[in-house]
């Protein structure tokens, strides 16, 4: 076991850390965050418009278009929002003036989305164009970096205000980036968005399947066990796909149709994220009943963060990271619960995800909201929590007994020392 741990620490973990810190993987993770306030805002109106109350649809019918407007103007332009976020983050990563880089990357994306008539279909600015937004942002940034690195820029005298100097400095690199996209899309008449969607279609199809989700979960949880933030690394790749599924579900429900994507963004709240990554709230509840003071106190400290889906205090305080004793339940429990959830949603036992809430929303509340008010969702999450406690319990007790024995031995040693120093 020690040999395996050393291998993880010295070989496997550094390799994963290097992968997780790749420039454009970090830019992708941070660039996608910009969508959160927009999607949450749109989801609020989506939930209001679809409350599961008898007669509610007829009651709000006169104001339905008003409720739909924020949904359309948030989820309907997600690709444009991603283009802005990604262009900004890639500009920072390549040490390009963020304002110029963001503007050029966004315009390059719009140029890439032109149709055969030289106009833009608003439908293409939704989730279907997110991968194009990501690719074009990276391409534009790399072209600009190429020019700037080789000093192929217009330099202004020092007396010129910095804002003006930055604008002229980005003229040649920015023009080159836009020119390349124009040549590909207009001169060669290549449908950039269609090509990119075709390239990423295997990923999209895979993440909409049971085994695709389980594979993503396994990688995410495995990374956590060796100290890598799996949500940031794997989530950065999967997030655009899950968000695309959520948008499709929202559009379907808004038009009076049934949602069709099981693994829409928010699906992981049914298993994986019960109190934080790894269904960690189950472990925290076990700790509240610990015999050792160490774990009992840590459980009290970690309980409130876990309620709000924050697992780091337990991940690194227990610790779960690099702890072979907890590796089995930490990986297995979420995968099993998530797998069962997949089929419960598939066969209509609980509703599909049709809204987004802040990731810190407590378990059961988030399940109710993201399914548009399906009462069965929080009931299932409560069952999952009970199951996670039962599964973590035998593994936790091994650590608890050891810690309790160490505390008892330490207390006995202290008492013996005090007896020597202060004989009766």
DSSP string, 248-259: HHHHHHHTT---
Mean pLDDT of the chain: 87
Number of other residues whose CB lies within 10 A of the CB of residue 99: 14
Cα distances from 301 to residues 304, 312, 359, in angstroms, run 7, 11, 20
Query: What sections of 229-323 are H helices per DSSP?
Result: 230-254, 280-288, 293-307, 312-317
Cα distances from 367 to residues 246, 338, 340, 377, in angstroms, run 14, 13, 15, 5
| Per-residue pLDDT at 229 | 77
CA distance linking residue 289 with residue 400, whole number of Å: 10
DSSP letter for 351, please.
P
Nearest CA-CA partner of 276 in 355, 388, 391: 388
2-16, 25-39, 233-247, 369-383: least confident range: 2-16
CA distance linking residue 330 with residue 369, whole number of Å: 26
User: Average of pLDDT values for 274-281?
Assistant: 90
Contacts of 127 (CB under 8 A, 6+ apart): 75, 78, 79, 243, 244, 246, 247, 248
Peptide bond before 319: cis, by omega within 30 degrees of 0?
yes
CA distance linking residue 231 with residue 228, whole number of Å: 9
Contacts of 365 (CB under 8 A, 6+ apart): 357, 378
- Interval 330-346: pLDDT, tens: 999 999 999 999 999 99
- Interval 144-199: pLDDT, tens: 999 999 888 888 777 777 777 777 788 899 999 999 999 999 999 999 999 999 99
Query: What sections of 50-129 are H helices per DSSP?
Result: 56-60, 64-75, 78-93, 98-112
Instruction: Choose from 38-42, 69-73, 143-147, 256-260 the range with maximum mean pLDDT.
Output: 143-147
Contacts of 307 (CB under 8 A, 6+ apart): 275, 281, 362, 363
Cα distances from 365 to residues 308, 361, 373, 385, 392, in angstroms, run 11, 7, 10, 13, 23
0.75 exceeded by pTM: yes
CA distance linking residue 9 with residue 16, whole number of Å: 10
User: Average of pLDDT values for 393-400?
Assistant: 92
CB contact at 8 A, 79 and 129: yes
| Per-residue pLDDT at 215 | 93
| Per-residue pLDDT at 377 | 95
161-175, 243-257, 260-274, 371-385: least confident range: 161-175
| Per-residue pLDDT at 9 | 60
CA distance linking residue 316 with residue 330, whole number of Å: 13
CA distance linking residue 85 with residue 92, whole number of Å: 11
CB contact at 8 A, 371 and 365: no
């Amino acid at each position: 076991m020690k040999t395996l741990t050393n291998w993880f620490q010295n070989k496997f973990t550094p390799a994963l850390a290097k992968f997780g810190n790749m420039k454009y993987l970090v830019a992708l993770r941070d660039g996608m965050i910009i969508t959160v306030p927009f999607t949450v805002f749109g989801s609020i109106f989506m939930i209001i418009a679809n409350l599961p109350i008898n007669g509610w649809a007829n009651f709000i019918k006169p104001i339905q278009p008003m409720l739909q407007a924020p949904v359309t103007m948030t989820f309907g332009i997600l690709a444009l929002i991603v283009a802005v976020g990604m262009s900004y983050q890639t500009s920072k990563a390549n040490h390009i003036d963020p304002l110029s880089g963001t503007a050029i990357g966004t315009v390059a994306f719009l140029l890439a989305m032109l149709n055969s008539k030289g106009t833009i279909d608003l439908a293409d600015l939704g989730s279907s164009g997110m991968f194009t937004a990501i690719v074009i942002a990276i391409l534009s940034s790399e072209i600009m970096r190429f020019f700037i690195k080789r000093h192929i820029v217009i330099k202004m005298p020092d007396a010129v205000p910095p804002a003006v100097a930055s604008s002229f400095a980005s003229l040649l690199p920015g023009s080159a980036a836009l020119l390349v996209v124009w040549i590909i899309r207009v001169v060669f008449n290549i449908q950039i968005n269609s090509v990119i969607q075709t390239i990423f279609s295997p990923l999209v199809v895979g993440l909409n399947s049971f085994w695709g989700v389980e594979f993503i979960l396994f990688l995410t949880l495995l990374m956590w066990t060796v100290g890598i933030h799996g949500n940031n690394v794997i989530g950065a790749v999967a997030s655009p796909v899950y968000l695309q599924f959520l948008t499709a579900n929202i559009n379907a429900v808004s038009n009076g149709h049934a949602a069709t994507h099981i693994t829409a963004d928010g699906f992981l709240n049914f298993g994986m994220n019960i109190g934080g990554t790894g269904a960690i709230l189950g472990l925290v509840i076990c700790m509240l009943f610990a015999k050792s003071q160490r774990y009992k106190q840590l459980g009290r400290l970690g309980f409130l963060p876990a309620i709000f889906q924050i697992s780091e205090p337990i991940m690194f305080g227990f610790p779960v990271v690099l702890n072979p004793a907890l590796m089995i339940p930490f990986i297995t429990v979420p995968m099993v619960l998530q797998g069962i959830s997949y089929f419960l949603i598939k066969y209509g036992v609980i509703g599909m995800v049709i809204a987004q809430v802040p990731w810190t929303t407590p378990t059961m509340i988030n399940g109710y909201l993201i399914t548009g008010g399906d009462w069965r969702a929080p009931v299932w999450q409560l069952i999952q929590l009970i199951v996670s406690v039962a599964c973590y319990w035998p593994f936790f007790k091994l650590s608890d007994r050891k810690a309790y024995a160490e505390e008892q031995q330490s207390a006995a040693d202290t008492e013996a020392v005090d007896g020597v120093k202060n004989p009766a």
